[in-house]
Structure 1
Amino acid sequence: MPTQTATLFLVDELDDVGPTSGLAENDLTALRAVASWVRSYVVEPHQDLGRAGPVCPFVPGALERRKLWFAPERVGAATVQDVVELMTGYRRRFLEAQPAGGEDAGHAAIIVVFTDLSAGRARELFADVLQQLAVPSYVEDGIVFGPFYDGHDGPAIHNSRFRPFRSPVPFVFVRHGVVEDWEFFLDDESWFRLYARRFGESAVHALAGELRRLPWRVTPG
């Protein structure tokens, strides 16, 4: 499996014959399936989400700024280490395209679509890859990876019965961690410690803002 990363495409380019002319039909079909899912589901509210706003609060801004890129990859007989090296390449590429601290750092992502990967294999493969990659990428560069595939059991933060991470084709997104990520890390002491170390005083203010909205001062009567 080559470790060189693929061409990146914006959403509107996936419907343009010119930019996608070099793609195999199954790769293009997979990219379009994920892009359609993003536009019809991820950026929209959902009655089971447990909060107001779109399923993912970061994606609408990325789409508006033309900072949401799609890349096709094939796994074939690749090993876990092959995929680790591949995703490390996307980590570097993302940092080059969208440096930390840039104006749109919190509204940009690369979606790496594994066009020949089954959902069943994705579960194990992504878990093994992120076990090696997730912590050092966050500690060193503040990069967050997110796995999506059909059958993903991860629940929504505000509704444990809702499963928002089930995509039509397996993919992993690459983005900068943001101060709002505390919700994802709150129940994991080791990750929350890394988050607090990265955001420091900003993390305190984010949590204080959440506490101010809660009725914790009210005495039970």
Structure 2
Amino acid sequence: MSTLGHLMDRSRVRYPSSEAAMSTQTTDLVLLEDLESNGKASGLAPRDREALQAVADWINDFILEPNDELGRPGPVCPFMPTSVERRTMWLAPEHIGGGSAAHVVELMNSYKRRLLDVGSPDGGDTDYDVITVVFTDLPADRAQDVFDDVLGEIAVPSYVEDGIVFGPFYNGNQATAIYNNGFRPFQSPVPFIFVRHGVVSDWKFFVDQEEWLTLWARRFGEQGVDALAAELRRHPWNSRRD
């Protein structure tokens, strides 16, 4: 899932160099099973562990499950079950503290580099690799402004240069599902941004955003044309009409 399209209309945000230089350190990555008793996450601060557990429960109970409001069969996110099964979906707790959006820009760039460095453990594709950066101290009513500023800065260059996409989730996110504009599946119990590799099926998120669709077409070329043709073949677009 991704909600990047709406960010294309926002102006790029530039921050003073003193803010951009704020130090940042990515935390250890946590798998869902690490949240079990005496798991790897047992040493986390209680607030961080509770936030990660809330996101993990939401993923298990909502994201991995089908939903009648989705408008298509299958789980809410078609990629996440494979990511969880492969153990390539990681959680990472982070704090925004008194920092600005510029600090979050630095954090997300760090996680982008980390995802690019991970690679696939079995030498296969990395389409199912995703890092979910959970901001355990960010109030939901601040999340939209912070995340919009952050992604307005990094979303386009990250996609153009590295093929990386980001997805913001928070309580109150009004972005809708592709097949049902009355369903809002991006409302998580704790604000987070996921980091993943772009995939050819992302055109469904970009089809109404001309600039994003152009960037997608440049990245996927002939493979993208094949994907669109396959979608068209499922619809009676060339049926004869009397």
Q: Shift of the alpha carbon at 1:51?
A: 0.6
Q: How many residues align?
A: 219
Q: In structure 2, what is the Cα distance between the partners aligned to 1:173 and 1:15?
A: 22
Q: Which residue of 1 aligns with 2:226?
A: 205
Preserved contact between residue 35 and residue 42 of structure 2 (Cα < 8 Å): no
Written as runs of structure 1 = structure 2, the 5 A alignment for 1:1-221 is 2-98=23-119, 103-221=124-242
Using the alignment, how far apart are the partners of 1:116 and 1:93 within structure 2? 22
Q: What letter matches 1:166 in structure 2?
A: Q
| Length-normalised TM-score, structure 1 | 0.96
> 2:50 is aligned with what amino acid?
T
Structure 1 runs (4+) deviating above 6 angstroms are none
How far does the alpha carbon of each residue in 1:18-38 deviate from its partner, in whole angstroms, 9 at most, with x for none?
412321101000000001110
Deviation digits for residues 184-217 of structure 1 (CA, Å, limit 9, x no counterpart): 0100000000000000000000000000000112
C-alpha separation between the residues in 2 aligned to 1:217 and 1:20?
55
Deviation at 1:108, TM superposition (A): 1.2
Give identity over the alignment, percent. 57
SS state at 2:41 partner: coil
Q: Which residue of structure 1 lines up, in the alignment, with residue 5 of structure 2?
A: none
Query: Which structure's relative contact order is higher, taking Cα pairs within 8 Å and 6+ residues apart?
Result: 2
Judged with a 3 Å threshold, the aligned counterparts in structure 2 of structure 1 residues 76 and 51 are, in CA distance, closer, same or farther, namely: same
| Structure 1 alignment gaps of length 5 or more | none
- Measured against aligned partners, the alpha-carbon deviations of 1:1-32 in whole angstroms (never above 9, x if no partner) come to 74110110000001132412321101000000
String of CA shifts for 1:18-63, please: whole Å, max 9, x gaps.
4123211010000000011101110111000001111001101100
Are the aligned partners of 2:42 and 2:49 in contact in 1 as well (CA < 8 Å)?
A: no
For residue 42 of structure 2, give the secondary structure of its aligned residue in structure 1: coil
